[in-house]
Structure 1
Amino acid sequence: MLAYIDRIISVEIPDSIEQPQLYECVKKHMMHGPCDDYPIYKRRNDGKYIDRNGVALDNRYVVPYNPYLLLKYQAHLNIEWCHQSMFIKYLLKYINKGYDRITAALVPVENEDGTTEQSVNEIKHYLDGRYISPCEACWRIFSFQIHKRSPVVERLYFYLPGENSVIFEDSDDIDALLSKPIVKKSMFNSWLQANGIFQQAKHLTNLQFITNLHTLPLKMLKAM
């Protein structure tokens, strides 16, 4: 296996006499600070180094590369041996991150008479200048999910009777606010209440209870 990896990936400076073109490509495109975490490649101390701004960089500073691809494309090509499942997420994020974002500024609008309109419609400027990369455009055209969280986590607030927090504005009518059912009930307490009354609810998790409200008996919903 190690010999197979050595044929594909290299992290060493080639000989400047035997492989001058490859040496120049590594020197120009593949020298970087220590950035490897997984896996650990063979980096021999063979005495070769590349001078970069007066600093001698040896094999420890070579970004993993493939000699054939580097010579063919002559660009920065980081080749890694993917041996853990975590790399799947890294590769997916890397190839879908899109192009660099544009830089935009909000400036006052100059009228025809030379006066300056001071009010700036930030929403309109945002819509006019929003940048969508080709990757994101295709993703949205095919109606793929933009984001997803797994496992789904819902924070349920629970408290002792009469000790829940109530958020209100200074101008709110306190009596009208406290008379609302939402002040006295919460998702967690309603779920426990349904579990204590109805046998059907005892077999549902909170997530199942919420997502299946349309299938629950009307008397169960009224009891909540």
Structure 2
Amino acid sequence: MLSTSFIGGPRDMRRQYMDAMALVRKFGKPDIFLTMTCNPNWDEITRELHPMQSPQDRPDLVVRIFRAKLEELKKRLTKQHILGKIRAYVYVVEFQKRGLAHAHFLLIMQRKYKLTCPEQYDLLISAEIPDKKKYPQLYKMVIKHMMHGPCGLLNPKCQCTKGRASCKNHYPRAFSNATSQGKDSYPIYRRRDDGRKKTVRGCELDNRWVVPYNPYLLRLFNCHVNVEACGSIKAVKYLFKYIYKGHDRASVAVTDANKADGDVDEIKQYRDARWVTPPEALWRIFSFDRSQNSPPVMQLQLHLENMHMVSFHERAKVNHVVQHPGVDRSMLTAYFEANRLHEEARGILYRDFPEWYTLQQGKVWQRRKRNTGGQVGRIVSAHPAEGERFYLRLLLNHVTGATSYADLRTVDGDTLPSFREAAQRRGLLEADDTIDECLNEAAIYQMSSALRRLFATILLYCKPNDVAELWQRHLDSMSEDYHRSTQSKTHVQQMVLIDIRNILQSMGKDIKTFPLPTIIDRYDDSHGTDREIYEEESIKPTTEDVAMKETLNEE
């Protein structure tokens, strides 16, 4: 198994994603999305090359210079506040298959500096070719670094158009005399039809092909620096999922159908499938940071009594492990102890504890000398199907001052036998409030596909009282990805229903047993066929695939 401690692994990327979404919960949605790509022709790189060398021959030099530029960008953003004062930020460094590094930043601005209207967008972001006579250097850099394509009809072989009728990035954009707010997406930037054109890679391009940029940053760094204003809260999950997507990877395995499934070797799968370029290898060798978020996020442990994780050497004897001093302590039990010892701690929720207290060696919470808001807490997630652990988390999110597990189960002087009953007595389970809260919290950080699976799991295991009301409340969050491909509300609703039906089928349950809208046949291409069979039968081989059959060996 690949643990969370393995940097760049799937669990590590998910942890970073959850940490980033904890910042969104605390400080609100990001305001600016910024991408900086390495320029292999930077003067700092080319002047250090030996005769007959190219930047590709010196990945060590390329990554060192890019890292220096990245640190300078971070300083300009967070220390000099060139785009405004920042409340929180995250960034991730990625490596393209062809080797060029790029960094994605998401910036959450302080309230005074948030972008709230098109006029503010125009102060920071431009999507037009500048005046060549007035800004000659900026003009050259926009033409060199910020012109998309050409693609589409002008160049069907372009990477963003392959297999498509048009550019996947929606270029060329439409002309617009003024910036306006887009719906659940980036703003529609000002792109005036001012007659400015330039021949780029053999095609005449105008303002419709300009990638949005900040003139100051582009002029300063002389590389591709895409700066976008984040349009709405609904785009946040997709932005964070994009920057934490991890390596490009693909793996195919052939096994004997007669043999029972063996153990899954995640380490082997990862090593066989990942793609690592020389610059990324050097980046890791130099121990440069792949990502960072500020303020830092602390993952708060969640476990039932005496069910916490204990680490020990593989050769240690069990009785020595059990008798080791402090083995019975955990982050959560230390929280209970802090509530017993410090009266001022009793009004703070467990998830907010890292803002006021710091965890010292020996698992002891100590009051911060200065509350600078230097850390954000995040209780690790729990699924409703986990039972008591889920209800423990529910109580910790609502109850302050608990001094033990038993105290957390005590309501009005009565110590109840389970956390579920304690939550019920406190009114946290009235009607479908808990389920509703669970879906609302999941909607902050989960993709729509995961929300649909969670909804199906809740239907099966949690037995909500008002399924129809729950469906209406969460349909929008469960259908965000489908809204990107179709505008028909009926069609979107049907696609969500079909997906939930397929998930329930895989769990051995029929969607018709729940009071949900009826699936309309014309929207259901599978017509009720088992999902696995339908997916296999739906594969359409290409002409090239069919032709390749003739090249196979006879055996």
TM-score, normalised on structure 2? 0.22
TM-score, normalised on structure 1? 0.48
More strand by share: 2
